[in-house]
Amino acid sequence: MTALEDFNITKAEQSKLNEISLENIPFGKYFTDHMLEADYENGEWKTPRILPYQPLQLDPSLAALHYGQAIFEGIKAYKDAAGNPQIFRPYDNFRRFNISAERMQMPTVPEEIFMDGLRLLIDMERNWIPAHENHSLYIRPFMFSTDEAIGVRPSHKYKFLIILSPTGPYYATPMRIYVEEKYTRAVEGGYGFAKAAGNYGGSLLASAEANKKGYDQVLWMDAFEHKYVQECGTMNVFFIIGKTAITPGLESGTILDGVTRDSTIVLLKEMGYQVEERDLSIDEIMNAYKAGSLNEIFGTGTAATISLIKELKYKDYVMKFDVQKWNIAPEVKRRMDAIKYGLEQDTYGWLYKI
């Protein structure tokens, strides 16, 4: 464990907390008083700093701005029933962050900086954790290359930061989803499994076109046939057909190994459902819908938690659902929330208490 003195800490003179209400907060708009920053140079990480949240000064030739060596994570902290901070499965995000780093030819971040830094920062910012239902403190660790040179090669220098944003629900209402056949998010051999900034930048055109057609997001399909499901917008996706929950598998490396995805699988199994991680085609989905056995569809993600999908459009065919009648996804969400907010026992050891 890193000692407090291993971090260089500068406290903000004044808190901004009295300027905002921690209720009904839009996602990602407000940031807490402090941030963590660490630089990688000459093959090693320098002393990490916790300092007042502030703009960065960057050279216009900064490598990340040109070639996109940039990765991030999304984690959430909650208040338990007694008001103490707890973070949901942060070690899983820490591990995934370093998997993303390796794929993007970036240095891994040591546990003493990522996890101990996170613990220190959350401890300092504990008053920023909202206590309301569907609210949390969103944690955004990220890293980017900082060489000041525009040659295409892995950078020698990097910056790692953690910023914190108190937040309300990401998708407030059930979603209408458009099955995407023109654009592709990820292909085998690519970096769909990495939480790399480019995966998100490259997705924006498809969501903008879906928005114009009146849809909230797209259902990403495989790159070769546009036939097999990958993800939904920025989320993993589950289909309940009969009594079986089906979600795309991780083997092809085209989807994110979601922490909420994994937690959902665990809870579904605990609730007695069979879970299959496998290829799922749009034909199988349509056939199940026509046969009346497609019961529920929902997305999972840290930001979005569990988001119900009330409509799915494939070519000219529209599948509609009465989400009021659903009970599986709402029960998964209820159980997961009960653990996160400390209302039910954390039998899986998912919580990291501060």
Closer CB to ligand COI, residue 53 or residue 200? 200
- Shortest reach from residue 171's CB to ligand COI, in Å: 11
Bridge partners (DSSP) of residue 305 are 301
349 conformational bin, left if phi > 0, alpha if psi -120 to 50, beta if neither: left
- Shortest reach from residue 196's CB to ligand COI, in Å: 11
Is 90 one of the binding residues for ligand COI (CB under 6 A)?
Answer: no
The number of C-alpha atoms within 13 Å of 72 and in the hemisphere containing its C-beta is 19
Q: Which of 32, 136, 165, 234 binds ligand COI (CB under 6 A)?
A: 234
Is 217 one of the binding residues for ligand COI (CB under 6 A)?
Answer: no
Across 187-203, b (16+ Cβ under 10 Å) vs e yields eeebbbbbbbbbbeeeb
Amino acid at 81: A
Closer CB to ligand COI, residue 51 or residue 266? 266
Q: Which of 301, 313, 314, 350 binds ligand COI (CB under 6 A)?
A: 301
Residues 189-208 that bind ligand COI (CB under 6 A): 200
Piece in contact with ligand COI (CB under 6 A), picked from 12-20, 101-109, 296-304, 312-320: 296-304
Piece in contact with ligand COI (CB under 6 A), picked from 95-103, 146-154, 221-229, 297-305: 297-305
Q: How far apart are CA 103 and CA 109, in angstroms?
A: 14
Helices (H), the chain: 63-67, 90-103, 111-124, 197-201, 204-212, 259-270, 282-291, 328-340
Is 303 one of the binding residues for ligand COI (CB under 6 A)?
Answer: yes
DSSP secondary-structure letter at 40? E
The site for ligand COI (CB under 6 A) is made up of 74, 200, 234, 301-304
